[in-house]
Amino acid sequence: MTQTNEKLKRDTSENVVKSIAQANEKLKRDTSENVVKAIAQANEKLKRDTSENIVKAIAQSNEKLKRNTSEYKDISVSCGDCHRKIFDGKVIRARAVNVAEGTALCRCKKWVKVPISLTV
């Protein structure tokens, strides 16, 4: 009877230790899988967000460019002295253009402010 109890006690302890080890192993595996899964999802989301932001930024940039271009069409610049048209909304007609200062040299040799954007 005493021996049986002793064996039962030992067996139970071994089983408990074994099942705890298995549970820990499973928990470790599950956690790893979940972490990997969560990281994958986070990366996917980040990728999607970044793509969306890039698309959005390009769209905004295009919109801005379009607006700027159409604004130019409404602008015409004439020389203050000889009233010759320097810029007709598309082309600058001048002897020279100072890109740094955004001015064009009229045929009457007066520098006139014209809309220039530095895009190369």
What is the Cα 52 distance to its own chain's centre?
8
> Which residue has 């990997």 as its token pair?
36
Position of minimal CB gap to Zn ion = 79
Taking the complex as a whole, the smallest distance from the CB of residue 49 to Zn ion amounts, in Å, to 54
How many residues bind Zn ion, per CB under 5 A?
7
Q: Is residue 104 a contact point for Zn ion (CB under 5 A)?
A: no
The residue among 7 and 109 lying less far from Zn ion, judged by its C-beta, is 109
Q: Is residue 81 a contact point for Zn ion (CB under 5 A)?
A: yes
Taking the complex as a whole, the smallest distance from the CB of residue 75 to Zn ion amounts, in Å, to 17
Q: Is residue 82 a contact point for Zn ion (CB under 5 A)?
A: yes
Alpha-carbon distance of 47 to 94, in angstroms, equals: 50
Listed in sequence order, the DSSP H helices in 2-115 are: 2-73
> Coil, helix or strand for 81?
coil
Q: Is residue 79 a contact point for Zn ion (CB under 5 A)?
A: yes
| First-last CA distance in the chain | 97
Q: Is residue 114 a contact point for Zn ion (CB under 5 A)?
A: no
The only residue of 7, 12, 108, 115 in contact with Zn ion, by rule CB under 5 A: 108
Q: Is 83 left (phi over 0), alpha (psi -120 to 50) or beta?
A: left
Residues contributing to the site for Zn ion (CB under 5 A): 79, 81-82, 84, 106, 108, 110
